[in-house]
Each structure stands twice: as structure tokens, then as C-alpha cells.
Homo-oligomer: A and B are copies of this chain.
Amino acid sequence: MNPGTQGKTNFFEEVEIQGHIIDSLLLPKVLDEILTQGGSYLIKEIRLGQRQEDISYARIEVHADSAEILERVLDSIHDHGAIPTTANDCQAVEADMDGAFPEGFYSTTNYRTQVRLNQEWIDVEDQEMDCGILIDPQGTSARCLPMTDVRKGDRIVVGRQGLRVFPAETQARSNLFEFMASPVSSEKPKGVTVREIAQAMRRTRESGEKILAVLGPAVVHTGGVEHISQLIRMGYLNVLFAGNALATHDIELALYGTSLGISADHGLPTEEGHEHHLRAINTIRRLGSIRTAVERGVLKSGIMYECIKHRIPLVLAGSIRDDGPLPEVITDVLVAQRAMREQVRGVGFALMIATALHAIATGNLLPAWVKVACVDINPATVTKLTDRGSIQTVGVVTDAEPFLRALVAELSK
């Protein structure tokens, strides 16, 4: 009991936090959380780096009126990287059933996380938010595990002891993706935005990481098929996530020259137009698969065609509004999630255009350090996508086709 706190708070714990805690806003956020959650604090020690490249350090005594509040405060600041000074190994218990975590399981974020095993800090693999952490039987490695994949007997981390999280830090910023407040306004210079995204794609390719595209059907409706095809041919698109609609309208366009019945050529509805997408699906189903349609020369252009020609891994995930669906569509959403999870490994940049459902689903699977550009004409969609707490996500409120046109032009330079 610290007499300086005048008997107000009998419950306290000392935590420490280090890194670029001032200019990355970690320290302010921690102090803010303590107050918001009903605690108070004493800064016991602070060592600020004199220059921006120096690491800073703070030791803080967190006080609360009850053990319960103290627990709440500590849990809350833990996600911002504040951990008790008295570190122990993390705790794990065995799952008592399939498909569910044991009570008290630790729920993951998308930030880099370490667990303490045998007094050593070890990186958690397959970082993904809203999972549990599985400790391997030898007790030497750890990885994120979705709830549905839990098997009885799995050793799952509980509580926050022996765990530490490394929230994103910001450095001196010189481009869009290093910028803290992701701009989602439609009132920004668009040429610059396109240039920055092109640059990030170039760097990703050079570094040997994969570029993932997540596309909605408006890419086809607005006339963006040829642009995406070019990105594939230029090697700037290495994995594709989409749904039945994108694939269907892409194939409809290749087979009938329409998209949702609207002629790509003159922009007017065509006769029977509303049926074209259904006939396109039926044609492919009769052939057995999109792949067969390409091999037999039925499908000769478009995004699906290019993906198959260039062996781009493709995950078409099903949804309840699908007609058909196309044979390649994975109709079980858990199976689709697993396929997506498989493919996000090694992704260094994700370009999400004109889709809320697939983009949010993908965002849930990506660790915070993967750069993401979310492009949508609806600011509400962009806001939802950029709310995932990553400083690496940039939202662009703009129209799909003109954006893609400019992006291809920029990458062709």
C-alpha cells in the first residue's frame, strides 16, 4: 500500500511499457485507458529517448478501488503493450471439448504477440484477431487457433499472464501508408493516392511478398475487368479473393458482353439482360468448372480467365445471396475461411475494391502489419474497413474503374 495515494486505492499493480511510447501514442493511450476504466495512476519512472529513434520506457503504478476494477484496467491496457513488471510464464489449460475454448481463454488481437514459455518470449504464429492461442505439446511454440478448429485436449492460453502485445508504432512518415490517421475523405488529391498505392505494390513484389486482391462485382459493373486482367498479366496480383457475383458477372461479360444485363459497350440494358448472369452460371455448371470452360475455349477473357491462365490462387467464397453458384464457389463458409486463411500467408499487400463482405472477412484474417488499401465509393464501407486498428490500412473513397485505370497507368510507367 502506497501511503502517497492516501488510502484511496488499496489495489494496485506495477506495469511497464517500452518502445516509441510518446510519438506512437502508446503511453497516452495507456494513461487514458486507466482513467476511462475507473483506475488512477502514478508514473514511477520515465525515460524518454531524446531523439525520435531512441526507445523510451515508462514504469507506472496502476491503482483501483477493487480487485475487479484493477483486473479490468490491467486487461484493458494490456492490448496497448503495458505488461506487469513481474512477468511469469503464460498459462494454458486443456480444451475440454471440440469447437470451443476453455473458460478464461485469451482472445487475440491482430498485433504481433509473444507468449512467455520456459521464461523465454516466443512469437505467436499465424497472428489473427479473435482467435485463441494454441501451445504445442512440447511447449515450445504457439499459434493462433480459430474457435471452430479447437480439438479436445488442445493446450489453450488463458488469462493475460506471460503474454505481451506489440501495438503498431509509427515512425517519421513520408508516405500514405506510414501516416497515422488513415485518410478516408473523398476530397483528397487522387493522383497522389494512386501513386502511393502503386509504390507499395512495387515494393511488395520486390520484397518477394504476395499481393492479394479482394474484389466485389462493381469492379465488373463499372468496367474494370480489363484493368484487373492487366494487373494479373503484369504480375501485380498474386492471390484473388471474391464471391460468386464477381466471378459470375466477369463470365457474363466474357460470354454476353453484359454485366448484370447492362451492356459494357453502350451502357444500356439489353434484352433478357437480367437472365445473362443465370445463363452464364448454367453454362459453367454444365461444363463442370470455370477451369474446364477456359480449357475448352468457352471462356476466353476476363478476370477468371486470367487467373486460370496465370495460375493465380483463387478463393470464391459463397454467400446466401448467390445464384447458382459457380462450381468453384465454396458454399460452406467455414471451409471458405480456411481456404482464405491458407492463402493470406505470405501476403504483404492487400487491395480491396468495392466489397464490404469479402473485405471485412479478409481484414479479420490479416495481421495488423500487412498493408491494406480499401477502395470503395461508399465512405461507410471504407470506414468499416479502416476501423480495424491498423495504421497500415488506408481508405480511399473513389470509384472502382477510374481508380483501376489510373493504377494500371501508374504501374505501367
In the complex formed, the residue of B with least CB distance to A196 is B267
Contact assessment for B319 and A357 in the assembled complex, using a CB-CB cutoff below 8 Å? yes
Copies in the complex: 4
Contact assessment for B398 and A173 in the assembled complex, using a CB-CB cutoff below 8 Å? no
Given contacts A51-B41, A76-B271, A190-B399, contact A31 B23 (CB under 8 A): yes
Q: Give min CB distance, A30 to chain B, whole Å.
A: 9
A300 within 8 A of B: no
* Residues of the B chain whose Cβ atoms lie less than 8 Å from the Cβ of A196: 267
Contact assessment for A223 and B191 in the assembled complex, using a CB-CB cutoff below 8 Å? yes
A75 within 8 A of B: yes
* Residues of the B chain whose Cβ atoms lie less than 8 Å from the Cβ of A73: 271
Q: Give min CB distance, A356 to chain B, whole Å.
A: 8
A182 within 8 A of B: no
Interface residues of chain A, those whose CB is within 8 Å of chain B, are 4, 22-25, 27-28, 31-33, 35-37, 40-43, 46, 48-52, 72-73, 75-76, 97, 99-101, 103, 105, 107, 130, 147-148, 170, 172-173, 175-176, 179-180, 183, 185-193, 196, 217-218, 221-223, 259-260, 262-272, 274-275, 278-279, 281-282, 285-286, 317-325, 331-334, 336-337, 340, 356-358, 360-361, 364, 377-380, 383, 397-399, 401-403, 405-406
Beyond A42-B50, A192-B263, A320-B333, 5 additional pairs, beta carbon < 8 A: A25-B25, A107-B274, A188-B222, A192-B267, A320-B358
Q: Which 3 A-B pairs have the closest CB atoms?
A: A402-B402, A192-B267, A76-B271
